[in-house]
Amino acid sequence: MRALIALGFGGLLLAGTALADEPAVGDSVAGKKIAGQCRTCHGIDGYAKIPIAPHIGGEPASYLRNQLIAFRNGTRTHEMMSVVAKMLTDQQIEDVAAWYSSHIAVATLTADAASAPQACTACHGTDGIALVEDAPNLAGETNIYIDTQLKAFRLGKRTHEVMSAVAEDMTDAEIRAVADWYGSVKLDIKMAK
């Protein structure tokens, strides 16, 4: 009995090690099929079709994966996305993240770069194309979407070490100004084959 239990734990440990050494790798071809469930809102290329949904084409895969896991486990909630994410397995999350991240987001400024919000550009870029790992692009998102997310961080409905601190002291007017800046950038998504 004891030997069996020891074996059982050994197996678990081994499985755990194998997982840690080889994180699931996303397959963008399989991900494209899953994106069929996302396209009515996010488009097949990740250029959103409805104003409350964000553009997700060309985002870092790690960011997309983290958000889908957060919707699935309830640390980020949204009436539509919480339902969608609960239906996805770990592998499907990796695959659909690989698909959407395989495209290239191209931003074009429509206003003077000098007006870009200095508090944000180190991570989100002047044009809203992220400069740091794990940060999302903001280029061309609707000002409603950016506004909603900043207020969620401010309220503690959505939490993140950096962004909760950034949003904490922002006034509604400051939130609206940065939302308008990134919302004014023109976004194109160049699709992978």
Interface ranges with ligand HEC (CB under 6 A): 34, 37-38, 40-42, 52-54, 56, 64, 66-68, 78, 80-81, 84, 96, 117, 119-120, 122-124, 132, 134-136, 138, 146, 148-150, 160, 162-163, 166, 178
- For the bound state, the minimum distance from the C-beta of residue 22 to ligand HEC, rounded and expressed in Å, comes to 23
Cβ–Cβ < 8 Å for 162, 75: no
Least separation, in Å, of the C-beta of 42 and ligand HEC? 5
Q: Which residues contact 138 (CB under 8 A, 6 or more apart)?
A: 120, 124, 128, 130, 146, 182, 185
Q: Rounded CA gap, 163 and 98, in Å? A: 25
By beta-carbon proximity to ligand HEC, the closer residue of 110 and 118 is: 118
CB nearer to ligand HEC: pick between 5 and 113: 113
- Cβ burial of 181 (10 Å; 0-12, 13-18, 19+) is buried
Shortest reach from residue 148's CB to ligand HEC, in Å: 5
Please state the closest distance from residue 101 (CB atom) to ligand HEC, in A.
10
Which position has the token pair 């280029």?
139
Structure tokens at 6: 């020891």
In the bound state with ligand HEC, the residue whose beta carbon lies nearer, of 5 and 110, is: 110
For ligand HEC, give the closer residue by CB, 13 or 80: 80
Q: Which of 118, 105, 116 is nearest to 184 (CA)?
A: 116
Cβ-based nearer residue to ligand HEC, 17 or 77:
77
Q: How far is the CB of 39 from ligand HEC (least distance, A)?
A: 8
d(CA 79, CA 85): 11
